[in-house]
Amino acid sequence: PPTVPLLALVGQVLVLENGLLRRPPMGWLAWERFRCNIDCEEDPENCISERLFMEMADRLAQDGWRDLGYTYLNIDDCWIGGRDAKGRLMPSPKRFPNGIAFLADYAHSLGLQLGIYEDLGNFTCMGFPGTTLDKVVQDAQTFAEWKVDMLKLDGCYSTPENGPRGYPMMAAALNATGRPIAFSCSWPAYEGGLPPQDTQVNYSQLAEICNLWRNYDDIQDSWSSVLSILDWFVDHQDILQPVAGPGHWNDPDMLLIGNFGLSFEQARAQMALWTVLAAPLFISTDLRTISAQNMDILQNPLMIKINQDPLGIQGRRILKEKSLIEVFLRPLDNNAYALVFFSRRTDMPYRFHCSLSQLNFTSSILYEAQDVYTGGVISGLRTETIFTVIINPTGVVMWYLYPVRQLGTRTSMNHNW
C-alpha cells in the first residue's frame, strides 16, 4: 500500500539524532559471563572490578577485536558503591579504587569506548542504588563528567508510570550534557515480553529517544534461550523490522559464543542470525581464555561487514518449511543480500534444495554467492537455478549474495565491497 513509504519517511525524520550508532554497536559486555560476581577475595580474576575491565580492554586492543569494530567495553550491574553526600553515584571503592573516569581514560587510550549501567527505579536488578526520576539529570551529568560513551538503562523496579517518563527524560539529560553518549534502553523488555502491539511502548517514540533497546528476555547460556528470543523476534518481525535502522536498533541481547551452553553449530547459528537481524554484537565471554574456534566465529570479517552494512536494514524470516528449515534474508548495500539457511532439525545434516525464485527473487540478474563461513564461492546463480545447501542440525549455512550482471546484456555489474 502507498502508505508504507510515507510511514517509513516519518520514522526516519523523528529518530534520535544524536548522530551515534549509525551501525549496530559492537563490543564486550560483562553481564552474561561474569554476572554479579563481587567476591574479589575468593575470585579476584573474575569479579566485577577495574582489573577485569582493564584486562578485557587489553584483550580487545591486542587480539584484533578493536580493529574489527568491537570497540565498546561495557560495565553492567554491580559496579555501584552508593551515593556521596551530594547524591552523586560512586563506584565500589574496593573494586574500582581508581574510579570510573580512570577506566574511561584507560579505554580511550586503547582506542575503545566505555559503557556503563544504571536502572530506572529505586534499585538496579541486583539491588544496588538505582536512578529515580529525581536523579536522572544528576546521573547523566556524572556519566558525562566521567567521559562515559554509552549508558544502558535497565528497568528492574521501574513502574508503568516511570518508563514513559524516565526514558525520554534520560535521553534529554544525556543530550544536554553535550557529550555524545549512546543510549541503550530496556523499556520494552519490562513490558513482560508482550507482543509489541499489546504494550505501552510506542516503538516510533522509542527510536526518537534510544539508540538501541532490549525488547525481550535476558539471554541465558543455552540454546533454548537463543531459540526463544529468535522466535519472539520472528513472531513480531512485522512490527520490529521497520523501526530498526541507522541510529536505532532492536537488541536481542548478548552473544553467548565462547561460553558453555552452545555447540559449535549453535554458536555459528547465533552469530549468523544476529547478523541478519542487524543486531548489536556484544560479546560476553572471557576474552583471556576464548578458543581459536570461537574467535574465528566472532572475528569473521565478512560476517562483520554484513552486520555493519551501511543501509542498516533489519532482515526477516522469509521461508519456513515443514522440513524445519527456515530462510532469513537481509537486503544489503550494492544490491547484495545476506541469506541464512537455518535448520531446527536434530537428526542429521539436511540437503535443502531451493532456488532464488522460491525466495521471491524475480529479476533477470546473474548472482554469485560467497559462503560466509567456508569462503567458498557459488557462481552462475540465476533466479531459476536449483541449488543445494547442506545444513547441520541446529546449524546454518550463510551466503553473501551479490549481483554479477544483468542477463541479456554484456554489462557486468561492478560490485565493490
Pull the grid cell for residue 22.
549509525
Q: Which residues contact 189 (CB under 8 A, 6 or more apart)?
A: 155, 213, 214, 215, 216, 217, 218
Q: Are 282 and 113 in contact (CB under 8 A)?
A: no
Active site residues: 154, 218
Per-residue HEC secondary structure of 199-263 comes to CCCCHHHHHHHCCEEECCCCCCCCHHHHHHHHHHHHHCHHHHHHHCECCEEEECCCECCCCCCCC
Separation CA 156–CA 195 (nearest Å): 19
DSSP-based three-state secondary structure for 376: coil
Distance of CA 176 to the CA centre of its chain: 26
Report residue 322: phi and psi, to 5°. Answer: -60, -25
64: left (phi over 0), alpha (psi -120 to 50) or beta: left
Pull the grid cell for residue 253.
541481547
Residue listed under C-alpha cell 500500500: 1
- How far, in Å, are 104, 116, 146, 153 from residue 101 at the CA level? 5, 11, 4, 19
Pull the grid cell for residue 341.
539457511
Q: Which residues contact 322 (CB under 8 A, 6 or more apart)?
A: none
- How far, in Å, are 50, 78, 135, 146 from residue 118 at the CA level? 17, 9, 11, 14
